[in-house]
Amino acid sequence: MTLILILLVLAASVVLYVWYGTIVTRRNKVGETLGGIDAQLQQRHDLIPNVLAIARRFLDHEKTLLDEITQLRAQALPRLGERDFGKIGEKFQTEASLGADITRLFAIAESYPELTSSGPMIEAQRAYFEVEANISAARRFYNSAVGDLRNAVEIFPGGLIASIAGVSALPPFFEAQEASRAPVKAMDHL
């Protein structure tokens, strides 16, 4: 009888340790994917001053937009490397606003043939769209890692050992802004 009890306690200990290891591994995977997003966001932030310098030569009357982009970049830059799961949502929101303003800048720039035919502007747009594609891929990896971590914590006995494994709050999923979810009206773009 004691042997069975010892075996049961040993088996339960092994299961709890494996589950603990799973949660820690998945928490670290979320951190790794956040690092991937940050690397892409850093490339975007490095590119923005070049884009703004090129655009300033042609878009003096769009000064408020250029200033807004500069301000959003200044707000977003210190948030790179943020690993507090409670603050990640704010980081994503600031970055989404910055991305929307840069997209708006490129849309305005298309009205200026001398700007859109400028070699540096063409190269800056190409680089920017490449970085945006990489950010999108990094966000998909992040959401996958968050899903795995949430599953490990929310399935019993994960909730019992999550805080021991260093997960006090679950990270949010990256979600597109409400405007991005609206259907596209082709007539508005013709």
Domain count across the chain: 1
- Is the whole model's pTM more than 0.95, yes or no? no
- Evaluate whether residue 129 is within a structural domain: yes
The one-letter amino acid at 149: L
On whether residue 21 sits in a domain, the answer given is yes
- Domain contains 186: no
Local confidence pLDDT in tens for the 190 residues of the chain: 799 999 999 999 999 999 999 999 999 999 999 999 999 999 999 999 988 888 877 776 677 888 889 899 999 988 888 888 888 888 999 999 999 999 888 888 777 777 666 778 788 888 999 999 999 999 999 999 999 999 999 998 888 899 898 888 899 998 876 655 555 454 554 3
From residue 123, how far is each of 3, 50, 88 by CA, in Å? Answer: 72, 10, 31
Inside any domain, residue 9: no
Supply the range of the domain harboring residue 91: 15-166
**Does 105 map to a domain?**
yes
Determine contact, residues 105/44, Cβ cutoff 8 Å: no
Q: CA–CA separation, 62 vs 90, rounded Å?
A: 27
Domain CATH for 63: 1.20.1440.20
Tokens of 24: 């820690």
What interhelical angle do 119-154 and 2-56 show, nearest 10? Answer: 160
